[in-house]
């Protein structure tokens, strides 16, 4: 065994050999090793040699030749390349899930990306009033446009919608009761539950009704001097079908007025675009919800709105003013990049058609079946042209999802590109594509690997081909 250890090359010899090996080695899309700082490469070569020592201990090798520089070089280069990639990276989303929380939810419109660049590359009037030359408020930049688009009296923005719900409850309901239907005590992913958020705010939950049915009288009977507010939570990530009843927003608003209690609506994925034409059900837009008269409405910035991660709070000025003054607000505030992206996105909504065309989330959700069929044909053509030897490529009808807990159980028609490797399994392909540059995430449908053109842009088709080529030659 000591002979095997001695056969391992020294770090310096390995570094020199890598520098020579590198130029010929990178596959399309990969970073050349020569472009990496030598200190970084040294660290990863050391890491690789540690792996080899471990393998010697485990009895993986039986002859010193297996550990020669020549024999180890390809694996060493691959190890160094993989280890020196940034951890947080771009991926290709071939899943067809538009608002994919694990893949970063919404993509920003070009103008929003440009606004972020401008905001972080230069000084700005973030908290500076250009009319007076004195200190200003960061919220002033988006409040007016939020009110203009939603029709609300006032508004503010915090880190995300979970923060928005917590802040609203902390401000209006701390130490008192909030009445909420049992059918709306939802978990919103990552084991994050509405009841737990509420408890953290210090509000006490007064649950009413049954899981499948809650009536107006259930709310009314629960109202006492302890009651601070009535809360509705949009059950955005699942649907109850069958024997089911929830109280409508109009009924809740009337009840709140009668008892002098604020009505809070957590919309979750608030949308400004009316998707009813797509057959996505009859979810009201934020504008319609605000018009129904609840006191405070909260929703996410990066779900179907298609902006940056943010929690948007709009409603009556008296409540919003109190929320703004809550010290917790300072801890949940948004940064200048979010503010820039949100303002730029909101400005697009002043013209609904412009918003539909330029906000990627909206254009992906509203892409027509014909358009997707054409794009699937182009993608399939490209893959068979580039990689016909390695894969069989066909097309099939399929369904995409909006995602992000929006429009649950509602499918959007699409055409899937089915990619079948000639020499290995679809499961193996899915696995290998997680380690390409860039990684490509697809889905398995009936044991076939499929890509949905809805969430891949035309400009990404060559990258898809490149990732598949890397996977085929692994
Ligand atoms: C998604 C969601 C939230 C949380 O929003 P984030 O922006 O992810 O923090 C809260 N409530 C509901 C109903 C949701 O759907």
What is the model's pLDDT at position 371? 97
Please choose, from the candidates 394, 407, 327, 314, the residue with its C-alpha nearest in 3D space to the C-alpha of residue 365: 407
404, 269 contact by CB (below 8 A): yes
- Residue 341 sits in the same domain as residue 396: no
Ligand 1 centroid to residue 165 C-alpha, Å: 9
Q: What is the pLDDT of residue 23?
A: 53
Q: Which residue numbers in the chain have pLDDT < 70?
A: 22-31, 189-191, 236-239, 408-409
The phi and psi torsions of 349 (rounded to 5 degrees) equal: -70, -10
Q: Which residue among 309, 329, 358 closes a domain?
A: 358
Same domain, 261 and 284: yes
Ligand 1 center–CA 86 separation, angstroms: 29
The range of the structural domain enclosing residue 331 comes to: 110-358
Substitution candidate for ligand 1 out of 236, 307, 361 with most atoms within 8 A of CB? 236
Q: Domain check: are 314 and 401 in the same one?
A: no
* Ligand 1 centroid, distance to 270 Cα (angstroms): 10
CA of 197 to the centre of ligand 1 (A): 11
Would strands 263-268 and 296-300 be described as parallel, antiparallel, or unpaired? parallel
Atom of ligand 1 nearest to the CA of 163: 9
Tokens for 117, please give them. 């660049």
The pTM (predicted TM-score) of the whole model is 0.90
Domain boundary among 330, 358, 386: 358
Looking at ligand 1, which atom is closest to the CA of residue 233?
A: 13
pLDDT digit string, tens, across residues 114-170: 999 999 999 999 999 999 999 999 988 999 999 999 999 999 999 999 999 999 999
**Nearest residue CA, atom 6 of ligand 1?**
161
For the CA of 236, the closest atom of ligand 1 is 15
- Kindly state whether residues 320 and 239 are assigned to the same domain: yes
Output the residue whose Cα is nearest ligand 1's atom 3. 268
Asked whether the beta carbons of 339 and 307 are under 8 A apart, the reply is no
pLDDT of residue 408: 67
Please indicate, yes or no, whether residues 239 and 280 belong to a single structural domain of this protein.
Answer: yes
- Output the residue whose Cα is nearest ligand 1's atom 8: 161
The verdict on 339 and 378 lying in the same domain is no
pLDDT score, position 69: 93
Cα(398) to ligand 1 centroid in Å equals 28
Query: How many domains, the chain?
Result: 3
Could you read off the pLDDT of 37-58 as tens digits, one per residue? 889 999 999 999 999 999 999 9
Mutate to test the pocket of ligand 1, among 186, 197, 405 (most ligand atoms within 8 A of CB): 405
**Crossing angle of helices 38-57 and 11-21, rounded to 10°:** 120
Indicate whether 155 and 270 sit together in one domain: yes
Q: Are residues 14 and 36 in the same domain?
A: yes
pLDDT at 27: 62
The span from the CA of 267 to the CA of 307, in Å, is 16
- What pLDDT is attached to residue 71? 93
pLDDT at position 237: 64
Considering 311, 342, 358, which residue would you say is the last residue of a domain?
358
Domain match, 244 and 374 both = no
Name residues contacting ligand 1 (CB within 6 A).
160-162, 165, 188, 233-234, 236, 266, 268-269, 300, 311, 405
Determine which residue's CA is closest to atom 14 belonging to ligand 1. 268
User: Number of C-alpha atoms within 13 angstroms, CB side, residue 331?
Assistant: 6
**232 and 167 in one domain?**
yes
Residue nearest to atom 12 of ligand 1 (CA): 268
CATH for 233: 3.40.640.10
Same domain, yes or no: 209 and 315:
yes
310 in the same domain as 249: yes
């Amino acid at each position: 065994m000591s002979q095997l250890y001695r056969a391992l090359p020294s770090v310096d010899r390995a570094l020199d050999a890598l520098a020579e090996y590198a130029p010929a080695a990178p596959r399309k899309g990969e970073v050349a090793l020569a472009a990496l700082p030598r200190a970084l490469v040294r660290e990863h070569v050391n890491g690789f040699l540690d792996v080899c020592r471990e393998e010697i201990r485990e009895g993986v090798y039986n002859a010193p030749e297996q550990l020669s520089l020549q024999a180890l070089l390809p694996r060493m280069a691959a190890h160094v390349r993989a280890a020196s990639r940034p951890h947080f990276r771009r991926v290709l989303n071939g899943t067809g899930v538009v608002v994919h929380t694990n893949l970063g939810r919404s993509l920003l419109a070009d103008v929003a990306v440009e606004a972020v660049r401008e905001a972080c590359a230069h000084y700005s009037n973030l908290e500076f009033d250009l009319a007076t030359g004195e200190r200003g408020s960061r919220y002033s930049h988006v409040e007016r446009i939020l009110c203009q688009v939603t029709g609300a009296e006032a508004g503010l923005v915090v880190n995300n919608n979970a923060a928005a719900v917590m802040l609203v409850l902390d401000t209006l309901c701390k130490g008192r009761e909030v009445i909420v239907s049992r059918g709306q005590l939802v978990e919103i992913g990552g084991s994050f539950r509405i009841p737990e958020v509420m408890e953290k705010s210090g509000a006490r939950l007064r649950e009413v009704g049954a899981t499948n049915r809650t009536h107006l009288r259930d709310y009314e009977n629960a109202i006492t001097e302890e009651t601070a507010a009535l809360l509705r939570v949009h059950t955005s990530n699942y649907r109850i079908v069958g024997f089911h009843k929830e109280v409508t927003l109009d009924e809740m608003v009337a009840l709140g007025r009668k008892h002098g209690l604020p009505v809070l609506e957590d919309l979750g994925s608030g949308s400004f675009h009316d998707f009813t034409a797509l057959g996505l059900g009859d979810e009201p837009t934020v504008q319609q919800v605000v018009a129904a008269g609840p006191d405070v409405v909260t929703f996410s910035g990066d779900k179907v709105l298609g902006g940056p991660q943010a929690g948007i709070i709009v409603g009556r000025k008296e409540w919003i003013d109190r929320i703004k003054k809550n010290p917790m607000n300072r801890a949940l505030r948004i940064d200048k990049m979010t503010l820039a992206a949100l303002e730029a996105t909101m400005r697009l909504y002043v013209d609904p058609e412009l918003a539909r065309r330029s906000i990627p989330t909206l254009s992906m959700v509203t892409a027509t079946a014909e358009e997707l069929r054409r794009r699937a044909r182009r993608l399939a053509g490209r893959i068979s042209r580039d990689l016909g030897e390695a894969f069989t490529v066909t097309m099939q009808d399929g369904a995409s999802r909006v995602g992000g807990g929006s429009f649950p159980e509602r499918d959007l028609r699409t055409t899937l590109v089915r990619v079948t490797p000639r020499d290995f399994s679809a499961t193996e392909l899915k696995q290998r594509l997680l380690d390409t540059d860039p990684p490509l995430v697809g889905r398995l449908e009936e044991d076939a690997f499929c890509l949905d053109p809805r969430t891949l842009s035309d400009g990404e088709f060559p990258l898809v081909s490149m990732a598949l080529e890397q996977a085929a030659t692994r």
